[in-house]
Structure formats: structure tokens, C-alpha cells
């Protein structure tokens, strides 16, 4: 069994913001596999399906970003899932818009949602980071809660789809295969 967690903040006021690309990836996967995200438990909205013979749960924690680890810890403990079968998709200000980074594990970096998750469950799980860049002239909180410009939306939309494909690649094959096929570097990195 796999848990695919997309990070973001619940509520219409956060829809389409930079911080919610993890939620958007879950929504794309739900649409592709015709999964209803209509269950509310484990401090999450979630739905389930089977992919490549594996039970897969798509989840969006409703704890708000900085407390994402609470929701993920609940679902992992309830289903007794090894943490290696958790895949987390989230935004990353430390890589440029349009970049995609898949890693088998690692530190949370500067991301508070990931800090919460690693505090609760450790760091030995695959993660998919979607680059949102940063604006040094803006307050960080204001920046991540800002909606994308049309130009950035045009760049991010295919990256979100690609992040969803990378999730499936991890389930069907492994993290190394997903890294080889789906990592995207952006000029200037």
C-alpha cells in the first residue's frame, strides 16, 4: 500500500497559490484515475484506488501546511504502512519555477510542512519537489501564498502533470527510475 500526500493549505483562498502545487498534483492524479477525494479522516481529505496491483491512497492533509506531519503520521500508523511507501509532493522555493526534483529521502530543507513530516515520521521516504522559485523582494509567506502569474502558470501546469507521472513511476518501478525519467533542471541552476 502507498500513501501519496500532496501538501498545501485547505480553503478556497489558497487555491492556485504557489504553496498548493502538492494539492494540485493530487487533484490531477485523482482526475486521471477517476478517484473521488471524498473521504475525511486522519485530518485529511483522501480517496483510494489500485495502481499496478498496489492499493494507493491519495491524500491532502487539512491541518494546514505547517502541521502536515500530524495527518501523515495518523494515516501511516492506522494502516501500519512502512514510511518508505509514503510519497510526498510539495513546493520548493529553493529551486526555480519549472524545476522538478525527485529524491529517495533527505532533509526537509527550509520547508515547514516537510519539517513537520520528518519530525513525526522520519525522513526515509521519496519526495517530489516542484520548483516555485523565490522573490527576494517579497516576504516569504506572502510569496508562497501568492497565486502564479499567467506566465508561471503556463510553466507550472505541465510540471504538475509530470510530478503525477513521477508518482506512478515510483509505484510501478522505483525512485531511481522516476529520477532518471522525470527530474527537470532549469537553466541557471
What pLDDT is recorded for position 112?
Answer: 96
What pLDDT is recorded for position 159?
Answer: 97
Q: Which of 20, 47, 53 minimizes the C-alpha distance to 34?
A: 47
pTM: 0.96
- Residue 187: pLDDT over 90: no
Q: Which of 173, 182, 79, 187 minimizes the C-alpha distance to 133?
A: 187
Q: Which distant-in-sequence residues (6+ apart) come within 8 Å of 39 by Cβ?
A: 45, 46, 47, 48
Task: Please give the C-alpha separations between residue 120 and each of 35, 43, 68, 136, 154, in angstroms, as whole numbers.
Answer: 27, 14, 9, 31, 35
Q: Which of 52, 117, 50 minimizes the C-alpha distance to 86?
A: 117
- Residue 189: pLDDT over 90: no
Cell numbers standing for residue 137? 523582494
What pLDDT is recorded for position 8?
Answer: 98
Average pLDDT, the chain: 96
Looking up cell 503520521 gives: 73
At 138-168, the pLDDT tens digits run 999 999 999 999 999 999 999 999 999 999 9
Task: Please give the C-alpha separations between residue 153 and each of 133, 147, 148, 156, 158, in angstroms, as whole numbers.
Answer: 13, 9, 6, 5, 9
Q: Which of 19, 111, 119, 120 is catalytic?
A: 19
What pLDDT is recorded for position 188?
Answer: 64
At 25-77, the pLDDT tens digits run 999 999 999 999 999 999 999 999 999 899 999 999 999 999 999 999 999 99
Cell numbers standing for residue 96? 526555480
Pick 188 or 39 by higher pLDDT. 39
- Whether 19 sits among the annotated catalytic residues: the reply is yes
> Are 34 and 50 in contact, with CB atoms under 8 Å apart?
no
Amino acid at each position: 500500500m502507498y500513501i501519496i500526500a500532496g501538501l498545501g493549505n485547505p480553503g478556497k483562498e489558497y487555491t492556485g497559490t504557489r504553496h498548493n502545487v502538492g494539492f494540485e498534483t493530487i487533484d490531477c492524479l485523482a482526475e486521471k484515475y477517476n478517484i473521488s477525494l471524498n473521504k475525511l479522516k486522519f485530518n485529511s481529505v483522501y480517496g483510494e484506488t489500485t495502481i499496478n496491483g498496489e492499493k494507493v491512497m491519495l491524500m491532502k492533509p487539512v491541518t494546514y501546511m505547517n502541521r502536515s506531519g500530524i495527518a501523515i503520521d495518523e494515516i501511516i500508523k492506522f494502516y501500519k504502512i512502512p514510511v518508505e511507501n509514503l510519497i510526498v509532493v510539495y513546493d520548493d522555493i529553493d529551486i526555480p519555477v519549472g524545476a522538478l526534483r525527485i529524491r529517495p529521502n533527505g532533509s526537509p530543507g527550509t520547508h515547514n510542512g516537510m519539517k513537520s513530516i520528518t519530525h513525526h515520521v522520519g525522513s526515509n521516504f521519496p519526495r517530489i519537489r516542484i520548483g516555485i522559485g523565490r522573490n527576494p523582494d517579497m516576504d516569504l509567506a506572502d510569496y508562497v501564498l501568492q497565486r502564479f502569474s499567467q506566465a508561471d502558470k503556463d510553466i507550472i501546469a505541465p510540471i504538475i502533470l509530470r510530478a503525477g507521472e513521477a508518482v506512478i513511476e515510483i509505484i510501478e518501478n522505483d525512485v531511481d527510475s522516476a529520477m532518471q525519467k522525470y527530474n527537470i533542471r532549469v537553466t541557471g541552476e
